[in-house]
Structures are given as C-alpha cells and as structure tokens.
Amino acid sequence: MKKLIALLCAVLFLGTGAQAIDVSAPSALLMEKETGTILFAKDEHAKLEPASVTKVMTLLLTMEAIDSGQLSYDTVITASAHACSMGGSQIWLKENEQMSVSDMLKAVCVVSANDCAVALAEQVAGSEGAFVERMNARAKELGMNDTTFRNATGLPADGHVTSAYDIALMSRELILNHPDIRQYTTIWMDTLRDGASSLVNTNKLIRFYDGATGLKTGSTDNALYCLSGTAERDGMELISVIMKAPTSAQRFEDAKSLLSFGFSTYALKEIVPEQALAPVPVELGTQATVQPVLGDSTHLLLEKSRAGELQQSVVLAESVPAPVAAGDQLGTLTVTAGGEVIAELPILAGEEVPRITFGQMLTRLLKTAFLSN
C-alpha cells in the first residue's frame, strides 16, 4: 500500500515544479523519505562511481548488525593490517589499535574514514570481501539494480558503480529504519582518542543548511564530487543525491537547490480519522464485533497549496463473517482535495476474531435460554 500511495503522489504532484530547478550536476535525484516519492530526477539511473557515498551501505549494514544484537556501540574493534592499509580519507588507525564501534561510526560519518569503514566491515562479516558480498545482496533486496559494489569504502575499483536512484534507496533505508545514525551524521566538529584527533564534517550542509541531518559525501578524480544530503523541516525529511558535480561547492549548491525546492513546494500530512472508527459486527464470531484501525501507510505527500483543503470520507462493512484475521480489510478511508481523490487508505481489522465452534455456540444458546427464564 505504501508503494501505491507513493505512486499516487508521484503521478498527481510531480509534474508541476520539477522543471523550475536548476541542477548543474549530470545526475541528481530528490526523494521524500516517508513515502519514497521522487520529487525530481535527472538521469537518475546513470551508472557512475559513487566514491565514499558507498559508505551509506557500509553504515546501513553496521546499523543492522547493531539492531540485531550482533554488535553494540560499545563493542571494541581491533584494527587489522588490511584496515590500516587503506588510502584516502582516514584517521590513521595503527595495526592492533582498539576503538569502539561508536567511535568508528563517528569517524566514518564525519570524516569518511576508510580505515574505520573496513574495520567495521571486517567486524560484521569477518572480512571485507565477505562484507562486500553482503553489500551486493542487500542492494538487490532494496531494488538497487544499477549497483555493483567492489569494496566497503568507495575507493576506486573497476566496476564499482551505482546511480543517484540507488543511492536514494539505500539512504532512505538507513534514515527511515535506523534514525540513531543521526547522532553521528549531524556532528559538525568533534574529537577522538581523548581529544587527540580532531574531526570536522566533510558535509558542509550540516553547518550551513537549516534542518540538515546528514548524510554522506564522496569524491575521487573520476567520480568527481558526490553527495547524499538529507534534511528535515516540519516533520518531512528529504534526500537529495548529487553525482559527478564539477566542484565540491557546486554539489552543495545543487543539493540545497533540490532541498529548498522540496520544502517550499511539498508538505507531508499524516492522516488520522476525524472520528473514532465504529466497531464492525462479526457474524458467528467468538466476539460480537471487531475494532477497525487505519493501516500503517498513513502519510500523504501533497503540494502545500492543497494540504489545507483535505476532506475525509469513511466506508465500513456493515458486517463481516468469522473468522476475521488481524489485517483483513474492513473498509476504506478516502482522502479528497477540491473534489479530487488523493488517496484511498485501507481500514483493517485490528484484532483476530475466530469463528465460534459448535460447542461454544451451544453454550451461548444455553446461557441465553437460562438468562431469559
């Protein structure tokens, strides 16, 4: 249903303002987090080198390992020779140096530390190679069909490519389901090693764009300047992806243009029934009624000009036969604006109601007969 709502939003609202945005990068995309709706796209499936934006997937798999209990933020990692051999951005880990998962996440998010990215990968999967296999498998699960990962860092490697669209998909998965990553991606300046190592975020949006929440920069000679930049205002979080921008400054300007367009044009509305949903009678059930609830997909992305004129109508079944499973559809809440249907949200059974057995029915009849005498 969430995909259906996103499609409805895209069809109804995308065409109005996309042409007004000036983005110099050859490939770019703007996505709303909650619904996954694409608000702007420019050659979004071009297969390009992502540089360190690759680390969004490294962060995602690490956060999933933490949430599953495989790791904790306090887990201490011992740096391997392989992790310490990485070039490019790093915090200069020494072989056998020990550092917590939390500090390594900070180093990856703030200064794009390649050595820490590989150390985390090895801790999660045993080796960087095994971790890369997981990266590609997870990419397939997310529908990232333009992507092939060759390493956990984004350092140049033949065939290591992705697209603006795929970066938005993995960025959305990270910030939607692992919001704790913000404790690292929103840091502007910090230190490691008891203050001995200073960190300044490579993502200038964190300092200079109102509502910035992350996410990851990247640059190499071939990839040029890439960014997955996220920001939140008024309860709506947007993901702006820029690939192959000619300069570092231009990628941030392009990202700000996309984000500002999104925030000025769209609003995210959570739909809540205006009146309590009445219980629906159940025929031959172990209880007389079932309580309806609105499904999980209750957010609508709307043009701001229409967000204030929403109206609701509810249609519920007069009754339903038992058995009723939790999640069975009992009706529909229709949202309209100016007489135009914006979305039809399913109203579902909030509980299970089994069918009454013969013995239960007989007991019920006897009780009724006894009480009536």
If you compute the radius of gyration of the chain from its CA atoms, what whole number of angstroms results?
25
Query: What is the C-alpha to C-alpha distance for residues 315 and 309, in angstroms, rounded to an integer?
Result: 20
Catalytic residue among 33, 55, 204, 216: 55
User: What sign results for the dihedral spanned by CA atoms 218, 224, 228, 233?
Assistant: positive
Q: Which residues pair with 229 in a beta bridge?
A: 215, 240
Known catalytic membership, residue 248 = no
Query: What is the C-alpha to C-alpha distance for residues 87 and 114, in angstroms, rounded to an integer?
Result: 7
Catalytic residue among 27, 33, 42, 52: 52
Residues 268 and 5 sit within 8 Å (Cβ to Cβ): no
The DSSP H or E segment spanning 349 is: strand 340-349
**Any residues with CB less than 8 A from the CB of 310 and at least 6 apart, and which?**
269, 271, 302, 335, 336, 337, 342
Residues 252 and 260 sit within 8 Å (Cβ to Cβ): no
Known catalytic membership, residue 219 = no
Catalytic residue among 27, 89, 112, 228: 112
Known catalytic membership, residue 94 = no
Q: Which residues pair with 224 in a beta bridge?
A: 220
Pairing of strands 212-220, 197-200: unpaired
Reading the block at residue 78, the tokens are: 């011992």
Residue tagged 């939790």 (tokens): 326
Query: What is the C-alpha to C-alpha distance for residues 139 and 162, in angstroms, rounded to an integer?
Result: 10
206 phi/psi in degrees, rounded to 5: -60, -35
Active-site positions?
Answer: 52, 55, 112
